[in-house]
Chain A
Amino acid sequence: MTQAPVTPAHETQAAPGEPLVVLSGVEKWFGDLHVLQDIDLTVKRGEVVVVIGPSGSGKSTLCRTINRLETIDEGDITLDQQPLPAEGKALANLRAEVGMVFQSFDLFAHKTILENVTLGPTKVLKQSKADAETRAQELLDRVGVGHQAKKYPAQLSGGQQQRVAIARALAMQPKVMLFDEPTSALDPEMIKEVLEVMVDLAKQGMTMIVVTHEMGFARTAADRVVFMADGRIQEENTPEEFFTNPQTDRAKDFLGKILKH
């Protein structure tokens, strides 16, 4: 085996094109702030959905509700037709099936790169250490940091750390990958190396929900762009349609601001 497969090993009921992640009528408040308002969103298996919008529009919160790092106050979220469990072992199992990549990488600081990737497979999926290490090494090679396996996170550049974080999530063989502004904390030249990994992943059929400001990535890799503002989904469309012919004033205003510079 020269290249690790990305297709999820979990038995899944959703065939390609079937709804995998479904949010309906989701509402969330932070105190008085209504951060998510009547969110309906369906992500099909194999689809790459990019969520964009101004700061404070609720896009990160939306992303985090899908593996319940944020709870919701009303509405339903299902993964593979199963509602998200509220807590406990069932919730942990759900999270094992949803890969997540954070803005600040959040690699485990006291573990080596290899240990970062093998922790989940050995402790959650109960793989043997040898199996987990073989597969971790394959994933690290694939994201281009295989030779750094023995180092600690602080010894790597931001771009390398984020690619390790992607490998760590992939090691769990997730059904869907969530990316919460994965390149926002990176220098420009490092953004590219992370985006390349993500584009590869998209090409190989991974279901992805990506919160980002990278319009280039949205254009090349997204099947659909979701534009959020003020806690609402203002419009969703193909990237081509959205960027050339935005329907709402909010989207026109937003695109006008970011594309001018």
Chain B
Amino acid sequence: MQAVLDNADVVALAFTYTVLLFLISGVLSLALGTVVAAARVGPVAILRRAAAVYVSIIRNTPLLIVLIFFRFAGPKIGLTWSFVDFQFGRVNLNNIFAACVVGLTIYTSTFVAEALRAGVNAVPLGQAEAARAIGLPFGGVMRHVILPQAFRHSLPPLASVQIALLKNTTVAGAVSVYEAFNRMRDLTNDYATQRIGIFIAFALIFVLLVEVVSLAANRIERRWRIA
């Protein structure tokens, strides 16, 4: 445990990467997942099929393989993300970080899409018919009537998906982003006698972070509850 306290600055930096991976991929996966879900329930057959295939392929692929693809195979086909290179104090967001954000976003978006689709299915058909009956086109029906209600129904599963994402960021450590998991491995190598303490400390920090996400989800759920 002492090792963690002695290296508090690098541990904090590592968790900064973890949280940034989570926040950026989280927001992007919600946006992409919404588009995929809309395509899956939409009136255009070819988009429905394309979205279904996308979900099947990505969701059935292990996350590690997705990240390795974007980290090592991506650059070979032009996905270098070399324009990404931002320095904020000690935090450096580079092309490897970007590749991991892309991988995590694409992977998580499939789960977001499925959670949303479940939410859309929970909205009674009459809501869509009433929206169509006042002359809203498909996009308007989705944006103003179906999705706002679907989001409410989807909140519990969406929270689970986002919590899984937060923990999945550790996989980025395996493709050399210096986030929490990678830092923990270094510390356990450098302080071999304190391994158990280091594991427990990192686990506790993750528990705390996840608890923040789950509290936030509960707050939103209460605020959005339909009267």
Contact = CB atoms under 8 A, between A and B. Distances in A.
Nearest to B130: A106
Interface string B100-128: 00000000000000000000000010110
Interface string A98-117: 11101010111110000000
Given A106-B124, A154-B226, A165-B130, 15 more contacts: A88-B137, A89-B137, A92-B132, A93-B135, A95-B133, A95-B135, A97-B135, A104-B126, A108-B145, A109-B127, A109-B149, A110-B152, A119-B134, A124-B134, A154-B227
11 contacts: A87-B43, A88-B137, A100-B133, A102-B133, A106-B124, A106-B127, A108-B127, A110-B148, A119-B145, A120-B135, A155-B227
B49 interface: no
Nearest to B134: A120
A152 B134 CA distance: 19
A94 B132 CA distance: 10
A99 B132 CA distance: 11
B58 interface: no
A69 interface: yes
B131 interface: yes
Interface of A: 67, 69, 87-89, 92-100, 102, 104, 106-110, 119-120, 123-124, 151-152, 154-155, 165, 168-169, 172
A246 B226 CA distance: 49
B136 A124 contact: yes
B75 interface: no
Given A108-B145, A124-B140, A154-B226, A102 B126 contact: yes
Contacts of B145: 108, 119
Contact of B226 (A97, A98, A152, A169): A152
The dominant DSSP class at the B interface is helix
Residue among A87, A94, A95, A172 with max Cβ neighbours from chain B (10 Å): A95
B130 to A, nearest CB: 4
B129 interface: yes
Interface residues of B, number: 21
B185 interface: no
A93 B145 CA distance: 18
B126 A95 contact: no
A123 B136 contact: yes
Contacts of B131: 108
Contacts of A155: 227
A172 B132 contact: no
B139 to A, nearest CB: 10
B140 A67 contact: no
Contacts of A154: 226-227
Contact of A123 (B133, B144, B149): B144
B124 to A, nearest CB: 7
Given A108-B145, A109-B149, A110-B226, A95 B130 contact: no
Interface in B143-161: 144-145, 148-149, 152
